[in-house]
Amino acid sequence: MKIIMLGAPGAGKGTQAKKIADRYGIPHISTGDIFRANIKNGTELGMKAKSYMDAGNLVPDSLTLELVMDRIHQDDCQNGYVFDGFPRTIPQAEALEEALRADGQSIDYAIDIEVPDENIVTRMSGRRACLGCGATYHTVFAPPKTEGVCDRCGGELTIRDDDKPETVNKRLGVYHQQTQPLIDFYQDKGCLAQVDGTKDVEEVFQDICELLGE
């Protein structure tokens, strides 16, 4: 079972990707994890990626695809995999499709977790992180016992720059411009499945399991 997770930042696709990986015994693959693993292991591809990252540049699509294809050829991917955060653009999706076709593979499902922008802004702007131990909270969904104070270590809670409303809105703008066209791309391929991401995490997961045939 080969799956791509789609959805805006904060839609919960990473959470659902991990749950799918656990349920179906397939690896959860993100490009960030691939980059870190290859750099840590000092592979040739990893060193190439590091040279771009160290210079503050984006890793080119061609190199990212090489790293992705190298990852899915590992033994734990024999029964499939779930991609989280890749592909992000139409050129990446087209290159991935071509590489998979040459490899005798294809994507089974592209799962789009649908959440309105206003819900995402509320979700992300409510996040709080502890400066001391890194514990995370949410002002609505998982508040600390004392406002602004970490339950675990008593440290100060803060809102990360990435979670500030203005930053979230900017990221959503980039998503709609670059990544949302992937929904139409996979719709045309006949493998798109959409779920309501405004529901409880477990309800969303049950909806996904149903569409995967369980």
Burial class (CB in 10 A: 0-12, 13-18, 19+), 87: buried
Walk me through the domains of the chain, giving residue ranges and CATH numbers. Answer: 2-26+79-116+168-211 (3.40.50.300)
Q: Cα–Cα distance between 142 and 137 in angstroms, integer?
A: 5
Burial class (CB in 10 A: 0-12, 13-18, 19+), 13: buried
Q: What is the pLDDT of residue 179?
A: 86
Query: Are 6 and 179 contacting, i.e. CB atoms less than 8 angstroms apart?
Result: yes
Question: Which sequence positions are flagged as catalytic?
Answer: 13, 88, 127, 160, 171
Mean pLDDT of all residues belonging to the chain: 93
Query: Are 5 and 11 contacting, i.e. CB atoms less than 8 angstroms apart?
Result: no
Query: Which residue type occupies 36?
Result: R
115 has pLDDT over 80: yes
For 208, phi then psi, to 5°, come to -65, -45
Residue-wise pLDDT for 190-214, tens only, equals 999 999 999 999 999 999 999 998 6
